[in-house]
Structure 1
């Protein structure tokens, strides 16, 4: 016999897992395209979806200053997702900016913070 408390616990665990599945923090990806100065890259996430298919690529992802020195096509990078939208951020002004939307931990706010693997290192 299933108790009501057991059902509540199952619901809460399922609800927590649902929230975690929509929360983006960081993931590994492989760079497949860079711009001229390595400040923006296109990245294919390495972890597959639960169905076994590839995740959607991340396009025009900003790269941290240190990582730019090591990034090449084929490099595996650590991609992080900002807590808040970076729509209003201007890379050249380095000033405070208003939030462009209410989104949080979204794949549209990705940044490459580290190069994890490059062939030959």
Structure 2
């Protein structure tokens, strides 16, 4: 006999898995294109999705200042996804900014914060 409590627990576990699957925190990725001043990169996430296929690439991702010293094409980097949209943030004036939208932990707000591996290291 299936009890209501068992169904509730099953529902909550499925809900938790769905939330976790759509919550972006950090990923390892490989740099496949770098702009001339090393401040932005295109990267391919290394972890395959549930079906075993490559995830979509992340394009024009800002690179942190320290990481710019070590980043190169082929390097493996740590990509973080900000809690909130960085759409209205300006590196030029570095002031507080209003949120452009309500998105949270989104792949559109990716930042490369660390170089984990590069050739010869």
TM-score (norm 2): 0.98
The answer to whether the aligner puts 1:20 opposite 2:24 as a matched pair is no
1:41 aligns with 41
Measure, in 2, the Cα distance between the counterparts of 1:73 and 1:56: 18
CA RMSD after TM alignment: 0.6
The structural deviation recorded for 1:73 is: 0.2
Match of 1:91 in 2: 91
SS of alignment partner, residue 8 of structure 1: helix
What residue in structure 2 maps to residue 106 of structure 1? Answer: 106
Aligned length: 121
Shift of 1:92: 1.3
Deviations 1:65-96 (A, max 9, x none): 00000000000000000000000011111111
Question: Stretches of 4+ moved more than 4 A in 1?
Answer: none
Query: 1:117 Cα shift?
Result: 0.6
Give secondary structure in 2 for the equivalent of 1:65.
coil
Return the offset for 1:119.
1.3
Separation in 1, partners of 2:62, 2:92: 13
Question: How far apart are the structure 1 equivalents of 2:6 and 2:66?
Answer: 50
Shift of 1:16: 0.6
Shift of 1:4: 1.3
**Is 1:51 matched up with 2:31?**
no
Following the alignment from structure 2 to structure 1, what is the Cα–Cα distance between the partners of residues 112 and 24?
Answer: 14
The TM-score normalised by the length of structure 1 is 0.98
